[in-house]
Amino acid sequence: MAACPEGTALLTVDVGNTTTACAVFKGETIVYRRHVPTPEKWPAGHLRVLLSEAWRTKITAIIVSSVVPPLDGTLAADCKKILGRKPLFIGHRTLTGIKLKIDRPSELGADRIADCLGALKIFPTPLIIIDSGTAITFDLINKKKEYCGGSILPGIGIAIRSLAENTAKLKNITFAVPASPVGTNTVDSIRAGIFFGYVGTLTHLIALYRRVLGSECKVIATGGLIRYFKGRVPGIDRFEPDLLFYGLKSIYDLQPALA
């Protein structure tokens, strides 16, 4: 299938539980990025906050990964009104070239599907994909290019808020990488427990999944919070902050009626 034409300005949008982000592709290159907090309700015209005025007349196609379905309708209406384009929302039925070998494919988040396609542009199978955001997710693709499952655990922000909400003497804190695993005050103890606990969890899960997929499998990590673990978790072959956007671009290129 032919790739996105050079003259096309493709808007890729990721609507997450915490953050909504976008990237604009000209050919194979990202030429614009922006992220904003995800609103509880998508206000009319909110797309103007996400996409600068200079790019609004240049967009010729839109593809969206959304894990917040209540926002999809108003986002689609915004795209139509402001950009004059109907967006493609990806899901488990979208053509991707990956077989979803799990119990209920409809439960798989669009962001995780996009991450997998992004990883396939970088490494051959088998693959382990880690995305660290509101939640930390692991996704596995075997040698047959089948999505065979993964795991989900609370992200750093959720873990800190849970401690603050459920423990009377602990307050919510701003996370930072601790200098030592031994905390000598409450704040540093929380940071040490969360950070080094997650380092151990990520390291252990990578080892477990390599036993499932084979020792030759590659591990690629993405997500805004993965920066905390860069260089600190053994076994990660590459960190790619734009993985999801490259995945959306790859999915767009696969759609016969669009590419």
pLDDT in tens, 65-98: 999 999 999 999 999 999 999 999 999 999 999 9
Burial string for 223-238 (b: 16+ CB within 10 Å, else e) reads bbbbebbeeebebbee
Task: Judge whether residue 259 has pLDDT over 90.
Answer: no
Task: Judge whether residue 164 has pLDDT over 80.
Answer: no
Task: Judge whether residue 8 has pLDDT over 80.
Answer: no
Mean of the per-residue pLDDT values of the chain: 91
- Give the position of tokens 């990883």: 119
Task: Judge whether residue 230 has pLDDT over 90.
Answer: no
CA dihedral 231, 233, 237, 243 (to 10 degrees): -90
Rounded distance, CA 96 to CA 124, Å? 15
CATH class given for the domain over 125-239:
alpha beta
Within 10 angstroms of residue 169's Cβ, the number of other Cβ atoms is 5
Q: What is the pLDDT of residue 2?
A: 38
Single-letter residue type at 159: A
Please check whether the two domains, 1-122+242-259 and 125-239, share a CATH topology: yes
Task: Judge whether residue 155 has pLDDT over 50.
Answer: yes
Percent of the chain topping pLDDT 90: 78
Q: What is the pLDDT of residue 7?
A: 59
- The residue that leads in pLDDT, 34 or 186, is 34
Residue 111 annotated in active site? yes
Instruction: Name the band, by pLDDT with cuts 50, 70 and 90, for residue 157.
Output: confident
Instruction: Name the band, by pLDDT with cuts 50, 70 and 90, for residue 257.
Output: low
Task: Judge whether residue 104 has pLDDT over 70.
Answer: yes
Rounded distance, CA 47 to CA 74, Å? 10
Rounded distance, CA 26 to CA 93, Å? 26
Q: What is the pLDDT of residue 3?
A: 46
The number of CA neighbours under 13 Å toward the Cβ of 188 is 8
Domain coordinates of the chain in residue numbers? 1-122+242-259, 125-239
Q: Which of 14, 78, 111, 115 is catalytic?
A: 111
- Backbone φ and ψ for 27, nearest 5 degrees, come out as 65, -125
Task: Judge whether residue 49 has pLDDT over 80.
Answer: yes
Task: Judge whether residue 187 has pLDDT over 90.
Answer: no
Question: How is domain 1-122+242-259 classified at the CATH fold level?
Answer: Nucleotidyltransferase; domain 5 (3.30.420)
Q: What is the pLDDT of residue 129?
A: 98
Lowest mean pLDDT among 121-125, 212-216, 253-257: 253-257
Three-state DSSP state, 183:
coil
Q: What is the pLDDT of residue 1?
A: 36
**Which tokens in the block code for residue 244?**
């999801």
